Amino acid sequence: MLAWLLSPIQSAEASKDNKVKVEDVVSMQVVGGIHGTKPSPMYKNNNAIGKEVITKVTDWINSSIPIGVQPVYGRHGYPRILKIQLTTKESLYVEVGYICVTSNTPPPGVLTPKGETYIFKSCSELKDEIVIGNSTSSLRAKSPELYKWLKMWELKVNK
């Protein structure tokens, strides 16, 4: 399942067989964020509301346009992540796309002790882009709808 995640450069014909199927999803929930942030409701495939949300999200994942492999930046803040539990016991995750830049030059206004060397990392979101991953790899893709849905959960928490 999801071989397209492991090899993002492939033909459209090959990727048709590697879609996330609604029946393969047990549950999904938006988790993470700043410490103490409550998760979204747990959407389960065995009830009407859960199945409706799962169907919508899997449609967005399946219609997303792969952009390439997501570089590993390490820790990049406290993102809200959509965790998807599959019937195979595998988990997928989806988060808002991001890019990080590192530099040994401090940003304006940041003072460092003389003679000390620091590495500064700055991460920012990429509008309409998402990262879809599993335990071994991740892929960046374009999905304005899923991006907006994930941002909606972030806004609900920050109100």
Q: What DSSP designation does 44 have?
A: E
What pLDDT was estimated at residue 7?
A: 42
Judged by DSSP in three states, 59 sits in: helix
pTM score: 0.78
- Cα separation, 65 vs 60, in Å, equals 10
Q: Taking residues 86-104, report their average pLDDT.
A: 89
Whether residue 102 is contained in a domain is answered as no
Confidence of residue 105 (pLDDT cuts 50, 70, 90): confident
DSSP line for 96-112: EEEEEEEESSPPTT---
Q: Report whether pLDDT(13) > 50.
A: no
Q: Report whether pLDDT(145) > 90.
A: yes
> For residue 68, with 0-12 CB atoms within 10 Å meaning exposed, 13-18 middle and 19 or more buried, which class applies?
exposed
Judged by DSSP in three states, 57 sits in: helix
Q: Taking residues 55-81, report their average pLDDT.
A: 84
Domains in the chain: how many in total?
Answer: 1
Whether residue 56 is contained in a domain is answered as yes
Residue 84 belongs to what domain range? 3-96+127-158
The pair of three-digit structure tokens given for residue 93, joined into one six-digit string? 């995750």
What pLDDT was estimated at residue 75?
A: 63
Q: What percentage of the chain exceeds 70 in pLDDT?
A: 82
What pLDDT was estimated at residue 118?
A: 75
